[in-house]
Structure 1
Amino acid sequence: MKLTKLFFAAVIVLSANATFAQVVPAGPVSASHLVNINIPEVALLDLKVASGTTEITLNGTAPTVAGDAMNFDNATDSSIWMNYSSIVKGNFSRKIFVALSDDVPNGLKLTVVASELSTGGAGTLGTASGELTLSTAEQDIVTGIGSTYSGNGSSKGRNLTYKLNFADTDTPNYAALRFLDAVPLTVTYTLTDNL
């Protein structure tokens, strides 16, 4: 009888263990983790030339015959290229403004034009404003810049064309001109958020 009781006890114990065992079904099993993606904000601007420095000199041409006027037909320069890179937040945009460090000599004006973009860039490159007469006041030269890059180096980005001329080309104020060896003016370009 003891043997029968022992047999039934063993059957009950084995049956209980079988009840709690789990069978894993065949099929996909998955695990997951997070990936954080960070895109930094970028605002970079630089001026480039093919060789040398970005310092330019614009000269009036003196007459060679008595009675002729000075002219500024050749007082132009297109050697500087403006390169920029930008990554903006959300739907914001940026602009580039330009200003002079000091006034242009009396009777004269200094203008600049930013060209359309050359090849090599992509994104929301912005729109150039056309010819600006430079002064100490900040003026927008490129607006509507989004996430973009213009390309790096001379012949990339926007070509800047400077021209020195009489302030009023129709009726030049010749009496305002004075001899000057050199008038150093700093032209500053600033890439900033549109506010």
Structure 2
Amino acid sequence: MIFSSIQYVLGVFLFFCSTMFLSAQTTGSRNINVNLSEVALLDVEPAMTAISFNFLAPTEAGRPLTIPAVNTTKWLNYTSAIKTTTPARSVSAQIDQTFSGLFIKLQASAASGSGGGTRGTPVGKVTLTTLPTTIITGIGGAYTGNGINNGHLLSISLEMDDYKKLVQTTNKIITVTYTISN
């Protein structure tokens, strides 16, 4: 009789425990509202330093000027969130004025550093003019990382166009403008 009382009490206890477990298994749902704005941000790092090109005069008559070495101190950084996957974004560059007798050349490297997403593809070396020239294509939702050693390394160089057009110049400032667009 003691066993049957214990079994009865144990049975009632298990019944109540199982109904508690069953009643604790409920579900519910809630809506989550997500907003992602379109983003197109671009900058050049390091920001506060200018590039200087200084020609070297020859040491002997009859020799040409020495054209300055390629400058590789600037990095292009961007963040992009687009409305649709096509068309992708691109980056263009242009100068505010030309320099008689010289071409200004620019080449972006493949993206490197800590970024992610669909970072763009460089088009190769281009000659900058006063009109926008595409330098990177195919940018989707992406970020390049911030600062130097992130994004696209920019190689800027000068090439002689016509030696007879060269005129002595001191501190001529030419501004390069970069634009990210759809």
Q: Which TM-score tier does this pair reach, normalised by the shorter chain? A: 0.7 to 0.9
Aligned-partner Cα distance in 2 for 1:183–1:132: 21
Q: What is the number of residues matched between the two proteins?
A: 160
Q: Is residue 58 of structure 2 the alignment partner of residue 63 of structure 1? A: yes
| 2:97–2:174 contact (8 Å) kept in structure 1 | yes
Partner of 2:127: 133
1:121 Cα deviation after fit: 1.1
Q: Distance in 2 between matches of 1:107 and 1:166?
A: 6
| 1:29 CA drift (Å) | 4.0
Partner of 1:86: 80
Look up the match of 2:158.
164
CA distance in 2, matches of 1:165, 1:26: 80
Instruction: Please say if 1:113 is aligned against 2:107.
Output: yes
Asked whether the 8 Å contact 2:55–2:65 carries over to 1, the reply is yes
Check 1:187–1:31 CA distance in 2 against 1; reply closer, same or farther (3 A cut). Answer: same
CA contact (8 A) 2:120 2:140 kept: yes
Deviation at 1:155, TM superposition (A): 0.8
The match for 2:96 is 101
d(CA) in 2 for partners of 1:54, 1:27: 64
User: C-alpha displacement at 1:174, in angstroms?
Assistant: 1.9
Whether contact under 8 Å (2:111, 2:120) holds in the other structure is: no
Structure with higher Rg: it is 1
Aligned-partner SS, 2:170: coil
Same amino acid, percent of matched pairs:
36
Gaps of 5+ in 2: 1-21
Write the distance in 1 (CA, Å) between the matches of 2:97 and 2:37.
36
TM-score w.r.t. length of structure 1: 0.76
2:112 maps to a residue whose letter is: S
Structure 1 unmatched runs, 5+: 1-24, 168-172
Return the TM-score normalized by structure 2: 0.81
